[in-house]
Amino acid sequence: MKLQTAFAGLTLLLVAGAALAQPVYRNVDKNGKVTFSDQPPSANAPAAPARTGNSVASAGGGLPYELRQVVQRYPVMLYASEDCGPCAAGRSLLVTRGVPFDERTVKSNEDVAALQRLSGQSSLPLLTIGSQQLKGFGDAEWSQYLDAAGYPKSSQLPAGWRNGPAQPLVAQQPAAAPAPAAAEPPPSPAADLPAAANGPTPSNPAGIRF
């Protein structure tokens, strides 16, 4: 009897353990409502809303714990420009590997000057992993440094994760309002006085002018 009771208890523990081991899925409906279930989302389920925020490091709450720790220690920043083949290849590597990153675009003369101050040169792309700078794109080199920083080799990003939009390297300042026209100075009191007559006068018989 005792053996049967112990066996029944063991069976219950195994069932409970199996229940606890079941995966939990995060589902987002068309209205953006998030629910958790043991049923995986359907293939046509809407994607989770895109992450918003100024930086991945400050908005990594939706990332797995280990990946979030890496992002906070070694945030990744890509400096790129339009119509730049190596920049596109580097971006593709980061996206395919599932590396959360921020991107800064270099377009204006102010952007180029800021890039030169940052890296000592104006060539692109530039990748920073923490304080480490990688100038130019190299698949093996970038992968080596990402490995060393602790980024996983394959994506662990949650479904629907998207990096924030690229931002200009130098924030655009609003155009300054035109300065008001300077007020004309008041006329000098001397201008209202009649010009002194040339030549001698009764009060100035010698005709001397000062």
> pTM for this structure?
0.57
Point out the least confidently predicted range of 1-15, 101-115, 187-201: 1-15
Mean pLDDT confidence for 142-147: 97
Nearest Cα residue to 129 out of 87, 50, 73, 210: 73
Could you say which DSSP state residue 1 is in? -
pLDDT over 90 percentage in the chain: 47
81, 108, 170, 191 from 115: Cα distances, Å: 12, 11, 9, 58
Mean pLDDT confidence for 1-28: 42
In the predicted structure, residue 9 carries a pLDDT above the cut 50: no
pLDDT one-digit tens code per residue, 82-124: 999 999 999 999 999 999 999 999 999 999 999 999 999 989 9
Nearest Cα residue to 61 out of 74, 49, 71, 75: 71
Nearest Cα residue to 89 out of 78, 75, 100: 78
Taking every pair of C-alpha atoms in the chain, what is the biggest distance, in angstroms? 148
**What's the CA angle centered on 97, arms 23 and 146, to 5 degrees?**
115
Contact status, residue 78 vs residue 101, Cβ threshold 8 Å:
yes
Domains and CATH numbers, the chain: 9-45 (no CATH), 47-168 (3.40.30.10)
The C-alpha atoms of residue 133 and residue 190 are separated, in whole angstroms, by 69
Residue 48 pLDDT: 38
Please list the residues that pair with 36 across neighbouring strands: 26
- Give me the helix-helix angle, 85-97 and 139-149, nearest 10°: 40
The C-alpha atoms of residue 73 and residue 60 are separated, in whole angstroms, by 12
47, burial (CB in 10 Å: exposed 0-12, middle 13-18, buried 19+): exposed
